[in-house]
Structure 1
Amino acid sequence: MSAATDTREPQLGWNTRRRWVIAPPPRSRVASELRERLLGPLDPWRDWPRLQRILYWAIPLGTALIAGILRFADLGRPHALIFDETYYVKDAYSYLQSGYERTWGDDPNPQFLQGNFSGLQSSPEYVVHPPVGKWMIAFGMWLFGPENSFGWRFSSALIGTLSVALTAWAAYKLFRSAVLAGTAGLLLAVDGHHITMSRIGILDIFLSFWLLAAFCALLKDREDGRRRLAARLGRLAGPDGRLSTAVLASGPWLGIRWWRVAAGVCLGLALGVKWSGLAFVAAFGLLTVLWDASARRTAGIRSWLRAAVVRDAPLAFVSIVVVGGAVYLSTWTGWFLSSDAYFRHWAEANPDPAWSWVPASLRSLAHYHLEAYSFHTGLTASHPYAASPWSWLVQGRPTSFYYVEPSAGCGGDRCSSAILSVGNPLIWWGGTIALAVAVLVWAGRRDWRVGAPLAGIAAGYLPWFLYPDRTMFAFYEVSFEPFFVLVLVYVLGHILGRPEDPPWRRQAGLLGVGIYLVLVVVVSAYFMPIWTAENITYLDWRLHMWMPSWV
């Protein structure tokens, strides 16, 4: 590769403001040309038009405001331990007291709801999920009081709101479109599945958030890596602006990538919520190395794939796997510091000379993990709201988190108050079609902008098919819902058309997408009562049951 000129001395040039300036030397021009090739003409961010820079922050914040209103309004309703809140909320209170899970007496929920926590016992409790999500629930309880249902749902609502902002930001990074960024944020903000998961104190919304945060960190790392590649190739260019054959063979080493380290931290925290984040570690690790290979290829590196494997992959492994593993291990600090947590002293009671070189605490934790893994893979108990992954995307069997029939207050003879984790049908049914289209588009064009969220969907969805006999629930899909929305928005972007399309084509696309978004908002408004436990008539509740499997 060579610069546009071989001249060794700086040249006089004519800039866009029509003033004579000193043109950059050849090496600087090499870096500038490579940066434009790798990242586009509007790099860095300060070169964006002023309106675009404002929208870059305003759209995530605006959609987060909408999301916050929908998630925090009447968050304490109902004052009950809903579904798995009966486990995780009481575990979170136990964390505040001792740093690990402890057992509760018989039927402690009525007393717990009244602010009486005397049912907490001194003996340790056996649990099968890591600590991070329960610590996050405990944070809200610490702020607002453990007896307050708003308090034990506060962190879920906050994290759900932040997830909407991150999704809009990720859409801006992927598509460089304010319209599509706003669309992504709006769709996630008003979707019922995400709303319900953000309004109850269970773990999955925290898993979804940390996975999304890792994805956003990798988007930043992709830019950072390409800037580094351009800058270092520029420094390696000769005085005439040419790159040597040796440099073009494999390119430079890019050093420690701090955004990728941040992604490793987020993935470690995701694993600290639920182990289902493990598939994302593999998918995102592979994704970031493929991005490096693509960058080297675009820059003109001849052995681009080998260079990515040799020069980029080892540090990527350390940044994501090693850092993530260390962070995950640190999330068990409360267990390590305890004297009587479950299995805390298993190794001392079961000595093994072959493993005596491993600290007893680590051997005990390893045994704990083996027992928990056996539980997860062997969980086959029947449940009325168990749902096969085949039905998740079309909302075939959403989970009923809460249903009671109040005696009065709805204006009818029979009342209903429900929380059903059904997503907005227009988002999920349309998104399922968009997913099929996006897979075909990616197979034909290898567009990284859709390949990235497709990797997130694959990591969060496909592994569940490996355990067909396990008891599963549709709300597990919240782990990949932001990526599902990004794929839907990518296809909506194709409907909107390109700037060079004829005006009638752009107007038709804008009209179609606009009508779709209006209908989405209308449908969400219609379903809001069964997402937020409003007291409505039984007939009204039945009218919301669009499919027999929702009942």
Structure 2
Amino acid sequence: MLAAPEVTLRRLAPFDPRGNLASWYATGFVVLVAAVVRFTGLSRPEGKLFDETYYAKDGWGLLTKGVEWNYTDNVPAYVVHPPLGKWLIALGEWAFGYYDDGGNQRAVGHLVNAAPEFGWRFPVAVAGTVSVLLMVRIARRLFGSTVLGCAAGLLLALDGFHLVLSRIALLDMFLLLFVLATFGALLVDRDARRRAWLETITAGTAAPAGVPWWRLFAAVLFGCAVATKWSALFFLPVFLLLVLWWDAGARRSVGVDRPWRATLRQESGWLVICGVVIVAVYLASWSGWLLTDDGYFRHYRAANGQSELPIIGALQNLWHYHHEAFNFHSTLQTKHPSQSWPWQWLLLGKPVTIHLAYPGAPWGQAPVSEIILLGTPLLWWSFLPALVATTWLGIARRDWRAGAILLISAAGLLPWFYYAVDAHRVMFSFYTAPALPFFVLAVVYVLGAMIGPPGEEHGDRRLIGSVAAAAYVVLVILCFAYFYQLFVGEFLPYADWAKRMWLGNRWNP
């Protein structure tokens, strides 16, 4: 029987995630704010914006052909991202309708005959709204505070970068959602495992057993992330490390000898199963390509005089497709006016211009309609100080929450430095999207440290800290409101537009 001193029981006791009705009312309010700013005027501007010209068409091809399709030349389309995000866009096109650039390929929605732009943007807006919901509940569980959970959700909901990615049919919002959801599932798995250990040592029995359902669900979600964009793989080592770290910590708390070795011995089987689940989900996303004969490279081996066995031949062709796509990603150096480097991203050094129009007069005289992929400046310029403060506080407090936030933030940002320095690959600021929620969590972690722990002895400090934290959130909201027209493409007089170009030529299109 394992000893169970009071300190061990406290360490293992997880935060009660259920909350009271008030916490759900507060969550609902934040999600409502997120939904309103994401769905209002979603079909404007008209037409396909930025890379919607690829993904909206790819979604329609998947819906009608089972694979991405080039309708102009009536041939399979060569694409370099997995299909899942485009399948999700296709669902919106099925529900609300679609048209191509020439108006030749038209379809009314099965549910509502809406503006076609609404169709391909609707799934992305849903993903953005759901990510805010997850953010509130994950931050609440992480910090043990409904106030901090709602603050995290509100900061994410009113970030311009997140808002723009929630209103155009790119893949990055889906990637953000699945990475964040994977972390949330692993967080619940951590609590469930610690609860199981608590029940075990309380009852005086052996180590807990059973199926780690939340861990398996996290594997499903991570498979969805990889099936959206391969860059999700940057997060895999960190998620694996977190699972092992948290499990070893639980074993250490109950007095297990050599907790890391015990964790590797007892959990490796489940981790292998999780790997199988990830691969299975990823392959399932390619089902349209695998189960039809029309996909690009679908019969590559047969077309080049090689044997093509059933099933195995299809997988070999898929491997060749992946090899070609990897070469494309690794060597992409075509210049683009909105490209930027990773060291510019958190400083908002070069945002992406998604849309720009100034009809009726020359530039400098006409009103300007622009959608700029710009984070709310006050929030984004807080990220680097918050990450530094989180590092210091995490070390000083030996706080696992700070470690998790920092590791995932690094996984979403640092690998791109390699591609920038070694390969000089062309890249864009939206590559950092899946790390965004964790940058926000770093800010909220620091706000929580400012507020301090509860208790009468901390009354004055908590009052001052609460006022300072609330003032910061209000200032971020006001900053978001000031730039709002640039996030949704509303027309501004040129002079008002120019006033918002705070970094001059770096933000000018």
Same fold (TM over 0.5): yes
Deviation readout 1:480-528 (Å, 9 max, x if unpaired): 1111111110011111122135322111111111111111111111100
Give the drift of 1:351.
Answer: 6.2
Identity %: 42
- Could you tell me the TM-score, scaled by structure 1's length? 0.84
Work out which of the two has the higher radius of gyration on C-alpha atoms and give 1 or 2: 1
Cα distance change on mapping 1:98 and 1:496 into 2, 3 Å:
same
What aligned pairs does 1:122-141 form with structure 2 within 5 A after superposition? 122-141=74-93
User: In the alignment, does 2:465 pair up with 1:509?
Assistant: yes
Unaligned runs of 5+ in 2: 100-115
Give the drift of 1:442.
Answer: 2.4
- Where does residue 104 of structure 2 map in the other structure? none
What aligned pairs does 1:160-171 form with structure 2 within 5 A after superposition? 160-171=128-139
Query: Helix, strand or coil: the match of 1:491?
Result: helix
What aligned pairs does 1:92-171 form with structure 2 within 5 A after superposition? 92-105=59-72, 121-147=73-99, 148-171=116-139
Task: Measure the CA separation in 2 of the matches of 1:75 and 1:141.
Answer: 14
Task: Measure the CA separation in 1 of the matches of 2:294 and 2:309.
Answer: 21
- Where does residue 263 of structure 1 map in the other structure? 218
Equivalent of 2:181 in 203, 210, 213: 213
Equivalent of 2:492 in 523, 526, 536: 536
Equivalent of 2:41 in 56, 69, 74: 74
Give the drift of 1:406.
Answer: 2.5
In terms of mean alpha carbon deviation, does 221-230 or 83-92 score higher? 221-230
Equivalent of 1:38 in 12, 37, 43: 12
Contact 2:176 / 2:434 at 8 angstroms: preserved in 1? yes
Task: Measure the CA separation in 2 of the matches of 1:55 and 1:340.
Answer: 53
Give the drift of 1:171.
Answer: 0.4
What letter matches 2:161 in structure 1?
Answer: H
Task: Measure the CA separation in 2 of the matches of 1:231 and 1:502.
Answer: 34
In terms of mean alpha carbon deviation, does 356-365 or 181-190 score higher? 356-365
What letter matches 2:326 in structure 1?
Answer: Y
Deviation readout 1:144-171 (Å, 9 max, x if unpaired): 1114111110011111001011011110
Deviation readout 1:244-270 (Å, 9 max, x if unpaired): xxx6xxxx2633201000100001010
- Where does residue 239 of structure 2 map in the other structure? 284
Task: Measure the CA separation in 2 of the matches of 1:55 and 1:455.
Answer: 32
Task: Measure the CA separation in 2 of the matches of 1:229 and 1:352.
Answer: 55
User: In the alignment, does 2:248 pair up with 1:293?
Assistant: yes
- Where does residue 507 of structure 2 map in the other structure? 550
What letter matches 1:346 in structure 2?
Answer: Y
- Where does residue 12 of structure 1 map in the other structure? none
Task: Measure the CA separation in 2 of the matches of 1:356 and 1:76.
Answer: 46
What aligned pairs does 1:458-469 form with structure 2 within 5 A after superposition? 458-468=410-420, 469=424
- Where does residue 276 of structure 2 map in the other structure? 322
Unaligned runs of 5+ in 1: 4-29, 47-51, 106-120, 238-246
Task: Measure the CA separation in 1 of the matches of 2:305 and 2:256.
Answer: 54
Contact 2:2 / 2:255 at 8 angstroms: preserved in 1? no
Contact 2:345 / 2:429 at 8 angstroms: preserved in 1? yes
Cα distance change on mapping 1:69 and 1:86 into 2, 3 Å:
same
Give the drift of 1:475.
Answer: 1.3
What aligned pairs does 1:464-479 form with structure 2 within 5 A after superposition? 464-468=416-420, 469-479=424-434
- Could you tell me the TM-score, scaled by structure 2's length? 0.91
Task: Measure the CA separation in 2 of the matches of 1:449 and 1:197.
Answer: 27
What letter matches 1:513 in structure 2?
Answer: A
Query: Helix, strand or coil: the match of 2:98?
Result: coil
Query: Helix, strand or coil: the match of 1:502?
Result: helix
Cα distance change on mapping 1:448 and 1:316 into 2, 3 Å:
same
Task: Measure the CA separation in 1 of the matches of 2:419 and 2:408.
Answer: 19
